[in-house]
Amino acid sequence: MSDLTSATESDFIDRVQQLGDLGDIARNVEKRIVLVVGRRQIGKTSLLKEFRDSTRSQDFTCFYYDLATRPPDLDNEEKPFFLAIADEILLQLEPQGMEVTQLESDIAAARHMRAPRSHMEQLSDARAMLDRHLGKRRAGVQETTGARREGGIDFHGGTAISDSQFAARDQYIFEKSRDESEEVQAAAKGLVTESLKKTLTAFTSQRCVVFLFDHWKRSNDDTRLWLIHSSFFNWVRYRQFPKAVLVIASDQVEDWYEASRDYATIKVAELPLEAVIVYWVDRMHLPRTKLPGDLRPYRFPPLLTLLAQEISYEQSSESGSP
């Protein structure tokens, strides 16, 4: 599996012009927002990763993040997008010399704020408290009346308790715990956002950072809104980060894109079919006779990769045999 992954992740051919354009933008820092646009599976991810890997010794730093993936966090729940991005910032930019002490502390604090208890734990505790309270009320009513009377009781008092009212109370408690959880989530997001801004402002005053965000369309609405309205887009666009470029890869031109001096578009077009054939024959050492007749210029079928690896393995085994 690792061999297949490494092979497919390195699929990159004939994008010299786009690489050069990205490099010029990163060195000049005149364009702040770059949209890499092209239809699905045409090579945008390969372009971003090749740019990142080929510029490690340059006088700028690349940060790459795939918006289509999010690893698990606490209790194997999906990690909130702001924590996922912050964790990657730590992982990729700390080795480049970024001071991360405060950011690490704030991320830990946000995790502690997020999930001290689950919704069901809060609901269970609240239900037990309410049951004790209503049990006392019921006992008091029975002592004074000698019998249970029909009717109801609300949060302000009453006489008897029905099953539907217990259900209503459970719903109220659940809604209350959910609202509190959303408030906690918002507070955690605000803490991490502000900490990211301070940390990256300091780092980009010393060194240019090119932020590469891949698979824009496969992220969720909350992530896109946060990136555009609350974090990286504004930080880079309005030069709160002294030296930074934001690169976003998408399948189409987005609504937020403007035709101005701060923006640039890099189009990833179809590769010539011959270039794809050269890739399989010259780089992957696949015989031309094995290429399918309907091979399309923008596809790198995994089956062809496996076939090329199998042929390579057989050839190396034969050459190594006595």
**Predicted pLDDT at 151:** 44
**Predicted pLDDT at 149:** 42
**Predicted pLDDT at 146:** 46
The CA distance from 315 to 309, in Å, is 10
**Predicted pLDDT at 141:** 46
**Predicted pLDDT at 106:** 94
**Predicted pLDDT at 72:** 75
Which position has the token pair 């989530």? 185
The answer to whether 224 touches 216, Cβ cutoff 8 Å, is: yes
The answer to whether 43 touches 271, Cβ cutoff 8 Å, is: yes
**Predicted pLDDT at 168:** 64
The answer to whether 83 touches 66, Cβ cutoff 8 Å, is: no
SS3 per-residue string spanning 240-309: CCCCEEEEEEECCCCCCCCCCCCEEEEECCCCCHHHHHHHHHHHCCCCHHHCCCCCCCCCCCHHHHHHHH
Query: Model pTM greater than 0.85?
Result: no
Q: Which of 227, 276, 290 has the alpha carbon at shortest distance from 82?
A: 227
From first to last of its 322 residues, the chain has per-residue pLDDT tens of 223 233 333 445 567 888 889 999 999 888 999 999 988 878 899 899 989 988 877 789 999 999 998 777 766 677 889 999 999 999 999 999 999 999 999 999 988 886 545 555 555 655 565 565 555 544 554 444 444 444 443 444 444 445 565 566 556 555 555 555 778 888 999 999 999 999 999 999 999 999 999 999 999 999 999 999 999 999 999 999 999 999 999 998 888 888 788 899 999 877 666 767 777 777 777 777 777 766 655 455 666 667 777 777 777 776 655 4
The CA distance from 78 to 69, in Å, is 10
CATH numbers and ranges of domains, the chain: 15-97+207-267 (3.40.50.300), 119-180 (no CATH), 273-316 (no CATH)
Phi and psi at 40, nearest 5°, equal -55, 145
Alpha-carbon separation of residue 17 from 7, 9, 27, 313 (angstroms) = 23, 20, 15, 34
What spatial distance separates the first Cα and last Cα of the chain, rounded to whole Å? 29
3-class DSSP state for residue 100? coil
> Where are the extended beta strands (E) located within the chain?
33-37, 60-66, 153-154, 157-158, 208-214, 244-250, 263-267
